[in-house]
């Protein structure tokens, strides 16, 4: 299989032989078919596959969705631009961002087994899931008592008197029994088995296939169900199955996650994709929530929702607003942050490439939520020529007490404690009291 890797907004060139870091025209068509199917599943805007890939004939141009597209005979990994990391480091940090949004703990060495630095994002994530599930399974599958109703030669448990003297009245040799049996065939294990079954189909790495086969054998007594028939609401998480809490989140993400689509018609392929706008927003929001947990302030993501206008006469609210991140003191908003997954311009321009519509939106937030602190937060990159942090501050004309900060945060170091401390310092640096350090 031809495995190709590019970064978002980069080009994958199409050549006759598909040698080097190129693909053939037929391979390009197959990748576009997978991208188009994935776009529909991800509910992305735009026509055809233009939110993932654009076909310009001699090149495929990547957009702002990253991850892995796999078609027969070819796979394409699209990585985010994270300065100053090489592809292997970017790949790992992409998975770390996903882990934070899912609230899954990943140890530093777990994502980089020996010889795996050249695997793509999908295979590394599968490897992590397999290793974590194998460790849990070797310690014992979770079990619970399952209610059974059956007609047996001898009474087991309690007798179903009504059934015994109606339906079985002519069959005295059968006893209507109701009993509980300790079983591994639980909703939790059924979800894990569904994930294992799906990953066996899509993984191409022999090491992963071996682990998935071992897991399939370990889960042999668990019913295999399609994803749509899984009893998600019946899963019980408690202290007895704490080792499976993170595994459940990963399994759900791999089956039908918030960011990605795995599937497609036979012969088309599959994908593991992330909208970087959305992933960056949730990663920053959840990191900030952790950083501010001891500050006395509340961090809310895409809440509270309020309206920009009310209709005269009816007083009906119109034009709902939904900020990315709102920091509150009690019930009172004190700061609004909007994340933007795009690079600030490095040129000597007072606007730094900040969109005028984004500024108007922040001004509206200041009016609607009555806050004095506003921030537009971007990923940091080397061409800015300075460290992460506040690039510039503005005061809003006619509201001199309101401050809009344009800031960046580096994604090169995603150590859980360090990134929490850095983002808390960033917020404190614009004058918002944040309590003691995270």
Q: In the structure, what pLDDT confidence band is assigned to residue 58 with cuts at 50, 70 and 90?
A: very high
Is residue 108 classed exposed, middle or buried when 0-12, 13-18 and 19+ CB atoms within 10 A define those classes? exposed
Q: Where are the domains positioned within the chain?
A: 144-183, 292-428
Q: What's residue 171's pLDDT?
A: 87
**pLDDT at residue 405 above 50?**
yes
**pLDDT at residue 15 above 90?**
yes
Contact criterion met (CB below 8 Å) for 283 and 66: no
Angle at 94 between CA 241 and CA 258, to 5 degrees: 60
**Stretch 214-219: mean pLDDT, rounded?**
94
Q: What's residue 362's pLDDT?
A: 93
Q: What is the distance between the alpha carbons of residues 353 and 434, in angstroms, rounded to a whole number?
A: 30
Q: In the structure, what pLDDT confidence band is assigned to residue 50 with cuts at 50, 70 and 90?
A: low
Q: What is the distance between the alpha carbons of residues 102 and 282, in angstroms, rounded to a whole number?
A: 10
Contact criterion met (CB below 8 Å) for 208 and 123: yes
User: Does residue 84 have a cis bond before it (omega within 30 degrees)?
Assistant: yes
Report the b/e string of 161-200 with b at 16+ CB within 10 A.
Answer: eebbeeeeeeeeebbbbeeeeeebbbbbbbbbbbbbbbbb
**pLDDT at residue 20 above 60?**
yes
Q: What's residue 217's pLDDT?
A: 94
Q: What is the distance between the alpha carbons of residues 207 and 69, in angstroms, rounded to a whole number?
A: 20
Q: How many residues does the chain have?
A: 438
Q: In the structure, what pLDDT confidence band is assigned to residue 258 with cuts at 50, 70 and 90?
A: very low
**pLDDT at residue 214 above 90?**
yes
**Stretch 177-206: mean pLDDT, rounded?**
88
Contact criterion met (CB below 8 Å) for 165 and 157: no
Is residue 148 classed exposed, middle or buried when 0-12, 13-18 and 19+ CB atoms within 10 A define those classes? middle
Q: Which of 142-156, 276-290, 309-323 has the highest mean pLDDT?
A: 276-290
Indicate the average pLDDT of the chain. Answer: 85
| Contacts with 395 (C-beta within 8 Å, 6 or more apart), sequence order | 401, 402, 403, 404
Give the residue among 237, 233, 226, 230 at the shortest CA–CA distance from 198. 226
| Contacts with 218 (C-beta within 8 Å, 6 or more apart), sequence order | 134, 137, 141
**pLDDT at residue 104 above 60?**
yes
């Amino acid at each position: 299989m031809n495995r190709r890797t590019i970064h978002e907004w980069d080009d994958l060139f199409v050549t006759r032989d598909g040698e080097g870091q190129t693909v053939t025209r037929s391979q390009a068509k197959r990748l576009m078919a997978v991208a188009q199917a994935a776009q529909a599943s991800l509910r992305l805007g735009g026509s055809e596959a233009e939110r993932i890939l654009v076909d310009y004939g001699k090149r495929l141009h990547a957009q702002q969705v990253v991850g892995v597209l796999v078609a027969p005979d070819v796979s394409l990994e699209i990585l985010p631009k994270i300065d100053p990391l090489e592809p292997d480091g970017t790949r790992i940090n992409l998975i770390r961002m996903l882990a934070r949004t899912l609230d899954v703990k990943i140890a530093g060495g777990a994502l980089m087994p020996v010889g795996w630095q050249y695997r793509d994002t999908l295979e590394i994530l599968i490897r992590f899931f397999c290793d974590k599930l194998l460790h849990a399974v070797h310690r014992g599958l979770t079990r619970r008592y399952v209610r059974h109703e059956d007609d047996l030669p001898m009474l087991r448990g309690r007798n179903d008197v009504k059934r015994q003297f109606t339906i079985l009245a002519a069959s005295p040799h059968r006893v209507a029994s109701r009993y509980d049996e300790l079983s591994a065939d639980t909703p939790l294990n059924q979800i894990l088995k569904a994930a294992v079954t799906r990953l066996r189909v899509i993984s191409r790495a022999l090491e992963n296939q071996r682990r998935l086969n071992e897991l399939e054998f370990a889960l042999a007594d668990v019913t295999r169900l399609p994803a749509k028939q899984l009893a998600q609401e019946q899963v019980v998480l408690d202290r007895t199955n704490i080792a499976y809490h993170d595994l459940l989140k990963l399994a759900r993400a791999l089956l039908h996650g918030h960011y990605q689509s795995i599937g497609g018609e036979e012969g088309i392929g599959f994908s593991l994709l992330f909208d970087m706008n959305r992933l960056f927003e949730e990663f920053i929001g959840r990191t900030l929530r952790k950083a501010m947990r001891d500050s006395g302030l509340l961090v809310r993501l895409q809440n509270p929702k309020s309206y920009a206008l009310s209709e005269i006469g009816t007083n009906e609210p119109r034009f709902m607003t939904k900020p990315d991140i709102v920091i509150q003191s009690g019930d009172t908003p004190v700061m609004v942050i909007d994340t933007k997954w795009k690079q600030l311009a490095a040129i000597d321009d007072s606007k730094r490439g900040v969109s005028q519509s984004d500024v108007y939106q922040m001004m509206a937030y200041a009016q609607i939520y009555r806050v004095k602190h506003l921030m537009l937060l971007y990923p940091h990159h080397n061409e800015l020529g300075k460290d992460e942090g506040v690039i510039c501050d503005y005061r809003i004309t006619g509201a001199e007490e309101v401050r809009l900060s344009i800031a960046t945060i580096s994604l090169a170091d995603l150590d859980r404690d360090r990134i929490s401390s850095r983002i808390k310092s960033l917020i404190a640096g614009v004058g918002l009291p944040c309590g003691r350090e995270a």
